[in-house]
Structure 1
Amino acid sequence: MVRFVTDEDGYWHVKRFIESHNHELASPADRHLLRSCRNVIEEKASVLKSMTNAGIRTVDAYAYLAEEVGGCENVGFSKRDAYNLIQKEKRARIEIGDTNSLIQLFKDRQVEDHMFAWDVQYDDQDRLLNFFWVDGRSRIDYECFGDVLIFDTSYRLNKYNFVCAPFVGVNNHWQNILFGLLFCQKKQLKVLHGCLKYLYE
């Protein structure tokens, strides 16, 4: 333990030093594991992103960087840091156009399955309030086994503060079957009745 004080002229002086409280510093071979020594510099981050965008696995991209600089201890960051960087990039790409991607997915599904139905609602600022989908198989199952309909809103909220609320029933083998799925904000559960029309039509 070391304690410093500054004098009137601004010079630092050691006021107290207890050597027995000290411990050996990390060896050069282990220094790259310390958080204070880890930093993903822009050049290496760019290489990682380029390689993973080209379809190379993150672990192989990191191995390439390690080989270029003579080992993992010289890369400047850990393999976990590399994974975190790539995951952060992927999430950022998805979140930029997540609503558009969702709607495009629904449109593609509708082309493949003519019974596929979906609906979305936006607020006055064009933010997604809720969305619902039901596919052809679910509509047929509902026609056959729709005597009892369970609407379960007990699932946890996701990062968008949406609750997952599936419409579930039971078939003739006592197996759970999915009739449709609603994602909405907790306060928007009133849209339940509007979603049921897609099962009845």
Structure 2
Amino acid sequence: MGFSIKRHTVNKSKKDKMTIMSRRFVCSKAGSRQPDKRDNNITNPRAETRTSCKAQMAICLGGNGKYMCHEFVGEHNHDLHTDSTVHMMSSQRHMSDIHMYEIDLADDSGIRPRFTVELMGRQAGGIENLSCTTQDVRNYLRTKRMSALSYGEAGSLLKYFVTQTKNNPSFTYSVQLDSEEQITNIFWADPKMIIDYAHFGDVVSFDTTFRTNRQCRPLGVFAGFNHHRGCTVFGATLLYDETVESFKWLFEVFAEAHGGKKPITIFTDQDAAMTIALTDMWP
């Protein structure tokens, strides 16, 4: 049986501003979420995990220089973790260097996070023996991929786009940012691509199997044929991942860049996520 805790209030000495005079620890499910005033139209709100639990412990520094407990509430208003779920507690979840090495190898081999966790769980004698969950693996990979595109590279890319736009206003590009204001997906099309698509964009081929860049980010190319049966490009993109959300964003900005024109026929590599996005965006 177990539960996670979090530090609540702290009082420090007025003399050295360092010595902790008192500290209060509460259950991780203490309190409740306050209404978010920033947006009243949140479509996918996070599930409420706090239950206003009153369990807590307060300690203070005594005259003998030792800390003593002067308040304790041990009753919880929620179920505690059992032995089979204790590994999911925040205080018990951490990622070791060995785990990060195995996750990197699995990701380079194209293994999805869910299967990576299952593999590591079998090696450890069960998922309950792991110190990380599938969501921890996804968060780790996301942080790693986001940091791969450093500020200098992102700045150089945006500078190039701005320069091209100044030289020719018909040059268009779109950049998608995540919640941390980091660049995820990028799309661009130069004037020749826009003109070619206006004439030869009824049939389009789109593929994201190109990963020749150093970060192995999916490079997608919208291509087709002109009246001389020569290959022509209608647009290009660097994606963060190949998910339904990324493809929906891409198809939306592609159509906007070309004046709302959508292709009549599109050839793809039969990617499942791409199929769902195409059905929703270009039925």
Aligned to 2:60: 5
- The alignment status of 1:86 with 2:141, answered yes or no, reads yes
User: Which of 249, 254, 261 is the equivalent residue of 1:177?
Assistant: 261
Distance 2:113 2:75 in 1: 43
User: Which of 40, 56, 72 is the equivalent residue of 2:111?
Assistant: 56
Paired residue secondary structure (2:59): strand
Distance 1:15 1:22 in 2: 22
Paired residue secondary structure (2:103): helix
In structure 2, do the counterparts of structure 1 residues 14 and 134 end up closer, same or farther at CA, with 3 Å as the change threshold?
closer
Gaps of 5+ in 1: 104-117, 123-129, 145-163, 170-175, 179-201
The alpha carbon displacement at 1:55 in A equals 2.6
Aligned to 1:67: 122
The alpha carbon displacement at 1:32 in A equals 1.1
Aligned to 1:138: 194
In structure 2, do the counterparts of structure 1 residues 101 and 54 end up closer, same or farther at CA, with 3 Å as the change threshold?
farther
Aligned to 2:102: 47
In structure 2, do the counterparts of structure 1 residues 142 and 51 end up closer, same or farther at CA, with 3 Å as the change threshold?
closer
Could you list the structure 1 runs, at least 4 aligned residues long, displaced by more than 6 angstroms after superposition. 99-103
**Stretch moving more, 46-55 or 88-97:** 88-97
Q: Relative contact order: is structure 1 or structure 2 higher (C-alpha 8 Å, sep ≥ 6)?
A: 1
- The alignment status of 1:32 with 2:32, answered yes or no, reads no
In structure 2, do the counterparts of structure 1 residues 59 and 20 end up closer, same or farther at CA, with 3 Å as the change threshold?
closer
- Preserved contact between residue 94 and residue 132 of structure 2 (Cα < 8 Å): yes
Aligned to 2:273: none
In structure 2, do the counterparts of structure 1 residues 58 and 8 end up closer, same or farther at CA, with 3 Å as the change threshold?
same
- Preserved contact between residue 95 and residue 131 of structure 2 (Cα < 8 Å): yes
In structure 2, do the counterparts of structure 1 residues 55 and 6 end up closer, same or farther at CA, with 3 Å as the change threshold?
same
- Preserved contact between residue 5 and residue 12 of structure 1 (Cα < 8 Å): yes
Paired residue secondary structure (1:5): strand
Identity rate, percent: 16
**In terms of Rg, which structure is larger?**
1
Letter in 2 for 1:17: F
The alpha carbon displacement at 1:87 in A equals 2.1
Gaps of 5+ in 2: 1-55, 165-171, 174-187, 201-252, 263-283
Distance 1:119 1:101 in 2: 6
Paired residue secondary structure (1:51): helix
- Preserved contact between residue 119 and residue 133 of structure 1 (Cα < 8 Å): no
